[in-house]
Amino acid sequence: DPRVHIPTVKLNNGVEMPVLGFGTWLGFNDKMQLDMPTCDKMVDALEYAIDIGYRHIDTAHLYRVEPEIGDVIEKKIKEGVVKREELFITTKVWQHYHREKDVEVSLRHSLRRMKLDYVDQLLIHWPFSHNQQGVDEKIDYLETWRGFEAVLRAGLAKSIGVSNFTIPQLKRLIAFSKVVPATHQIEVNLNLAQRELVDYCKAQGIVVVAYAPFGCMVPSKDYPDSPEPKINNPQMVALARKHNKTVTQIVLRHLYERDLVSVPKTITKSRVLENASIFDFKLDAEDTKVLESFNNGYRSNPVLWYMNFDHYPFEKVKLDKLPEIPSGLLKWKNGKNQNID
Ligand code: NDP
């Protein structure tokens, strides 16, 4: 059986985090509803991932797969493949639960769904808040963070962090809180290098976790007008040939060499192995120059429907009409077969 050896990075609280995790957002289907039919494949892929040596799982209340993830973890512990303390499980608090007291409520629901008594990391999914009707509740993320500090003290989360914040939002959070976030999870890929934000986080001792590491390179995200490099881009293919690797491996290796953690998502077993087989080669300065040349600020996940919210973290664009918030972000059932909270 193949094995992968994924290194770890030490967070600012001493906790070790594997530098590559298993992403579990299944994406929207063409009706902008969650693509749950692929959940069975995700479960198989996750079992395989743990079998071959993945230890870090990235999920969220939003993703609706916590019950299935909990089943896989339980099974792998029973089989003796892994011990709980060897796993690094991240989940996130959705914007319905941003009041200080609600953070623990949200986390306890996540823990129950995953059959765990702690998570290794809890993140504020976005800096803004809204109710199930999609109305901006304008709750200050400083309040939300106090709830995060409380679950950290209670031992329900071993580390706490944020996601999709700006530099000014992070500065304010650090200035007015007791605990500095351990990580910041943001979109980083070849089109969106995020130099300034990454440098700021590094200077503060915050580890950056790259989501959507492939940006719009893969066919599932070939949005109209999305820029190069696509997976068959000649310059990328040449780099892949040079190292006897795939284009996606070159991308993940580049992120690793920038000291970023990444959480690629795949429900395809061969890609589970492929994505973690990046720790046996090095890119040189010329390679890096090519990879950096694709940075153009293009965001694959602009969540434009939130553009007029108080704490919207991205550049605003001119639009005649804002898209509606997809209903799947407002109300849901948890888990493929479950109707709980
Ligand atoms: P990714 O960049 O991980 O891309 C996923 C797509 O790439 C899927 O279509 C997958 O196909 C394909 N793919 C994966 N590996 C390969 C490969 N080796 N070769 C070719 N294609 C490949 O995007 P995500 O948006 O899923 O981001 C990753 C994770 O980050 C999420 O799952 C989630 O955990 C997290 N995330 C967090 C966000 C936040 O707000 N904090 C926002 C977005 C994501 P297939 O599955 O069919 O194999």
Q: Could you read off the pLDDT of 273-317 as tens digits, one per residue? A: 999 999 999 999 999 999 999 999 999 999 999 999 999 999 999
Q: CB within 8 A of 159, min separation 6: which ones?
A: 11, 13, 15, 17, 120, 121, 122, 152, 182, 183
| Model pLDDT for residues 20-39, shown as the tens digit of each residue | 999 999 988 877 777 788 99
249 versus 31: the higher-pLDDT residue is 249
Above 80 in pLDDT, residue 325? yes
Give the number of C-alpha atoms closer than 13 A to the C-alpha of residue 241, restricted to the C-beta side: 7
Residue 279 DSSP label: S
* Residue 51 binned pLDDT confidence (cut-offs 50, 70, 90): very high
Instruction: Spell out the residues 6+ positions from residue 15 whose beta carbon is closer than 8 angstroms to its own.
Output: 120, 121, 158, 159, 182
Indicate the DSSP class of residue 135: -
Given 48, 54, 63, 298, which residue is catalytic? 63
The dihedral sign for the CA sequence 144, 146, 148, 154: negative
CB atoms under 10 Å from CB of 319, counted, come to 9
pLDDT at residue 224, rounded to an integer? 87
Helix axes 234-243, 285-292, angle to 10 degrees: 150
Dist CA 97 CA 312 (whole Å): 17
Average pLDDT over residues 137-148: 98
If you measure from the C-alpha of residue 177 to the centroid of ligand 1, how many angstroms do you get, rounded to a whole number?
32
- For residue 140, the model assigns a pLDDT of 98
Other beta carbons within 10 Å of 160: 25
Residue 126 clears pLDDT 90, i.e. is over it? yes
What's the confidence (pLDDT) of residue 1?
78
The Å distance, Cα 145 to ligand 1 centre, comes to 27
Residue 54 bears catalytic tag: no
Q: Which CATH class is domain 8-329?
A: alpha beta
293 in contact with ligand 1, CB cutoff 6 A: no
Which ipTM was obtained for this model?
A: 0.99
What are phi and psi for residue 323, nearest 5 degrees?
-65, 155
Which pLDDT belongs to residue 338?
A: 55
Q: Residue 321 above 70 pLDDT?
A: yes
Quote the strand ranges of the chain, DSSP E: 8-10, 16-18, 22-23, 56-58, 88-93, 121-124, 160-163, 183-187, 207-211, 261-262
